[in-house]
Amino acid sequence: MQSLAEKHTQIIKRIARELGFDSCGIARAGFLEEDAPKLEAWLKNQMHGKMAYMENHFDLRLDPRLLVPGTKSVVSLAYNYGKKSLTAEENKPRISKYARGRDYHKVLKKKLKIFMERIREEIGDVQGRYFVDSGPLLERSWAVRAGLGWIGKNGNLILKKKGSYYFLCELLLDIELVPDVPVADLCGSCNRCVEACPTDAIVKPGVVDGSRCISYFTIELKEQFPEEYKEKAGAWIFGCDVCQEVCPWNIRFETDSNEKDFESKEYMHWGMEDWEKLSEQEFEEYLSGTALRRPGFTGLKKNIEVVKENMKKGKG
């Protein structure tokens, strides 16, 4: 006879499919014992750079039951943002694929709100919270525990026969569910991402020195671009996809996302002159509701100047 946990698990996975999520896995809430020393070492070695917020809520990051009291199950979800048909345009600034359309936080939070409503309609008085890269939660670690995939050498979660162009989000629920089984690490001896990283930010398998990552320089760093890394940024004015572009799992299995909100905005095809001419008013108008607002107008213009110089030198 089917248990209540099994019945509820089936309901949740069905709702996930109906809402367009590409993968849904479940883990039993608890303390991430293996992650604790890794996180401590990463912070101690200043690999978070100037991202001081990463030092906050250490205990909460390691145990969702402290973050949301009463949590019994962690539901991990993956949503495709891939665009296999989107290729880099020669002599034009580059933007990470995840930022080509509407800000994913806005899109996925809306879906998760509906998800929670559906759970309560079909199961009952379920309490919990949802997160989209917005709280002190080690989402990749929970995705691994939930059997969605494994952590690649570039630090990204890789889904078998799907790749890594996926947004991750979570539901922390106060009900017992049937946990999934973690999958094997299938990176094997492949070292392409490590060798391709322009700034050698991948210091060992699964560990990325964020303070040396192009995405960090172009999105999070509020100060001037470090001189020693300027040329290595190439044509990237926002983010960097190099370690994902060379990954065999993406080369073979990446698919175009069906999400209309993630379709490319006009700015994806702008040339250097268009970006140079961008005014603060146009920044507010054209980039409203997109991830490109993250570094602010001043930060984005800083990146544009770096890329302009790189293109002049033929480094773009």
Catalytic residue among 133, 180, 241, 274: 133
Which segments of the chain are extended strands (E)?
A: 23-28, 73-80, 94-95, 128-131, 150-151, 157-158, 166-173, 202-204, 207-208, 236-238
User: In the numeric block, which tokens belong to residue 141?
Assistant: 């670690």
- Classify the C-alpha dihedral 38-40-41-45 as positive or negative: positive
Distance separating alpha carbons of residues 295 and 313, to the nearest angstrom: 25
Q: What is the CA radius of gyration of the chain?
A: 20
Neighbour tally for 190: CB within 10 Å: 15
- Residues whose CB is less than 8 angstroms from the CB of residue 253 and which lie 6 or more positions away in sequence, other chains included: 161, 162, 163
274 is catalytic: no
Distance separating alpha carbons of residues 287 and 173, to the nearest angstrom: 35
Neighbour tally for 69: CB within 10 Å: 10
Distance separating alpha carbons of residues 267 and 92, to the nearest angstrom: 11
- The C-alpha angle 256, 259, 265, rounded to 5 degrees, equals 85
Q: Which residues are catalytic?
A: 133
